[in-house]
Amino acid sequence: MIWFGQPEARECSDLTEAGWHVRTAGADAGIREHERGNVVLLADLRRGDARVLQAMRQLMADRPELPWIALIPPGAPAQRPQVRRILQGCRDFFSAPLDLPRLLVALERASGIPSRAAVAAADLPELVGCSAVLAVVAASLRKYAPIDLPVLITGETGVGKEVAARVLHRLSARAMQPFVAINCGALPLNLVQSELFGHERGAFTDATARRIGHIESAAGGTILLDEVGDLPLDVQTNLLRFLQEGVLQRVGSSRPIEVDVRVMAATHLDLEHAVAAGHFREDLYYRLNVLRLQIPPLRERGDDVELLAHRFLERFRERQACTVHGFESTALRAMRQYTWPGNVRELRNRVQRAAVMAEGALISTADLALPTDAPVRGTPVSAGLGVSRALAEREAVAACLRECRFNISECARRLRISRVTVYRLCKKHRLELQELRAH
């Protein structure tokens, strides 16, 4: 990296220790031949040297592709037009005092050199994260991928269960064959059987032609049965037969068809509980639960929140005209403290929305629109019973909505509240019905 300005001795030694070669540059700055395409530039604006600023402006104009990171003094120097212009050309910026771990992550990102996370999961680029818990997931994925047995993937909504299933498929011998993901909870009740197993012409009133089911369409590859706990009992029986014998029957036919598919199942429900309550077949549960993968919630993944937020912003910037470059440090802190009930999906959606709403070059806490009444991480005990109640209420409404396939009247009946109250609770807990339905 080239440091424009004067790093402190400690900063230099910390960076060197982390594996960076640091060269300082002043007003005579230039990029040496061997550094081209292999360098990150750091604009140290903490002391506001006018000659250095001039050199940086020149270099930014001549070589707009070079990745810059800026260090600014605390306060609001970013309001100065000269500084603001430079910040707009930077990938990221930090205000003093320097947060070295965050700077290292930013350097890795700006340079394209794999982050520590990517190094930990070198062949799993889909799985962004550097937390120890995610490393455990990555290790299980590698272990399970080559074994042609069912995998049961559990975890809260939006944690990345489908992402994990795709990784398993990609790393397996079936990688060149289809991967089919079906949300069992979103299938119309009367059609689940024919959607999964297919039907023959004339099998029922609307069956005007033969149709291949999702399982057959995944032949040779992998099928992910998402929200498997939502399958009706009669369909569970047929699925069990398929898992045991490798054959299925289309609706309206008694001819057994052999299909070679690896079955994966995902659920946010406690399947053991569903078995105990008689909603899920115990024998099917044991068939699916051969290999088990538990994906931890985002609030337990430490720095992954920041890493993912930056990744989602980068992806958004690649596709959309967007002047936002990063996050204010207060926004990063707020994200680290938030409990993320919708997990990675909620984070992605909030970052995208914030990138649209942000007025400046950085996303602020307000742009993220984190619910002010939501519990924050690390404070549940002091926040007291009210917070636990709110969390339980949210979870109960979300679970019931899913169980009822988003039929509001049915949900209201089961929860013994009015339809209006269901809508009010959805609004209160930011349960976006459309979004939940889509997933």
Token code pair at residue 73: 């003094």
Q: Which is nearer to ligand ATP, 57 or 437 (CB)?
A: 437
Which of the ranges 27-35, 340-348, 360-368, 383-391 carries the binding residues for ligand ATP, by CB under 6 A? Answer: 340-348
Token code pair at residue 38: 């292999």
Which of the ranges 37-45, 106-114, 115-123, 157-165 carries the binding residues for ligand ATP, by CB under 6 A? Answer: 157-165
Which of the ranges 138-146, 194-202, 228-236, 344-352 carries the binding residues for ligand ATP, by CB under 6 A? Answer: 344-352
Q: How far apart are CA 256 and CA 297, in angstroms?
A: 41
Which of the ranges 45-53, 123-131, 195-203, 251-259 carries the binding residues for ligand ATP, by CB under 6 A? Answer: 123-131
Q: Which is nearer to ligand ATP, 45 or 266 (CB)?
A: 266
Question: What SS3 state is found at 44?
Answer: strand
Min dist. Cβ of residue 383 to ligand ATP (A): 26
Among 44, 92, 108, 162, indicate the residue that binds ligand ATP (CB under 6 A): 162
Question: What SS3 state is found at 97?
Answer: coil
Q: Does 339 bind ligand ATP (CB under 6 A)?
A: no
Q: How far apart are CA 79 and CA 84, in angstroms?
A: 6
x-or-dash pattern for ligand ATP, window 98-117, by CB under 6 A?
--------------------
The angle subtended at Cα 146 by Cα 140 and Cα 151, nearest 5°, is 55
Q: Which is nearer to ligand ATP, 174 or 348 (CB)?
A: 348
Residue of closest CB approach to ligand ATP: 160
Among 46, 91, 109, 161, indicate the residue that binds ligand ATP (CB under 6 A): 161
Min dist. Cβ of residue 68 to ligand ATP (A): 25
Which of the ranges 6-14, 94-102, 343-351, 405-413 carries the binding residues for ligand ATP, by CB under 6 A? Answer: 343-351
* Residue-wise DSSP of 214-280: HHHHTTTSEEEEETGGGS-HHHHHHHHHHHHHSEE--BT----EE---EEEEEESS-HHHHHHTTSS
* Site residues (CB under 6 A) for ligand ATP, limited to 282-311: 308
* Site residues (CB under 6 A) for ligand ATP, limited to 209-228: 226
* Site residues (CB under 6 A) for ligand ATP, limited to 125-144: 127-129
Among 95, 140, 157, 193, indicate the residue that binds ligand ATP (CB under 6 A): 157
Among 67, 158, 198, 296, indicate the residue that binds ligand ATP (CB under 6 A): 158
x-or-dash pattern for ligand ATP, window 245-274, by CB under 6 A?
---------------------x-x------
Check: CB of residue 336 under 8 Å from CB of residue 377.
yes
Q: Which is nearer to ligand ATP, 7 or 155 (CB)?
A: 155
CB atoms within 10 A of CB 21: 11
CB atoms within 10 A of CB 188: 9
Min dist. Cβ of residue 67 to ligand ATP (A): 22
Token code pair at residue 436: 């939940």
Check: CB of residue 410 under 8 Å from CB of residue 404.
yes
What's 296's DSSP letter? Answer: P
Q: What are the b/e assignments for 98-120, b being 16+ CB within 10 Å?
A: beeebbbbbbbbbbeeebebbeb
Q: β-strand 257-258 against 247-248: which pairing, if any?
A: antiparallel
Min dist. Cβ of residue 349 to ligand ATP (A): 9
Min dist. Cβ of residue 232 to ligand ATP (A): 19
CB atoms within 10 A of CB 60: 18
Token code pair at residue 407: 């039929």
Task: Name all contacts of 232-235 with Cβ < 8 Å and 24+ positions apart.
Answer: 232/189, 232/192, 233/279, 233/281, 234/193, 235/192, 235/193, 235/196
Q: Which is nearer to ligand ATP, 127 or 331 (CB)?
A: 127
Which of the ranges 12-20, 159-167, 170-178, 417-425 carries the binding residues for ligand ATP, by CB under 6 A? Answer: 159-167
Q: Count of residues binding ligand ATP (CB under 6 A)?
A: 19
Among 250, 348, 394, 429, indicate the residue that binds ligand ATP (CB under 6 A): 348
Min dist. Cβ of residue 184 to ligand ATP (A): 10
Check: CB of residue 173 under 8 Å from CB of residue 222.
no
Q: Which is nearer to ligand ATP, 60 or 225 (CB)?
A: 225
CB atoms within 10 A of CB 142: 14
Contact positions toward ligand ATP, by CB under 6 A?
Answer: 127-129, 155, 157-163, 226, 266, 268, 308, 344-345, 348, 439
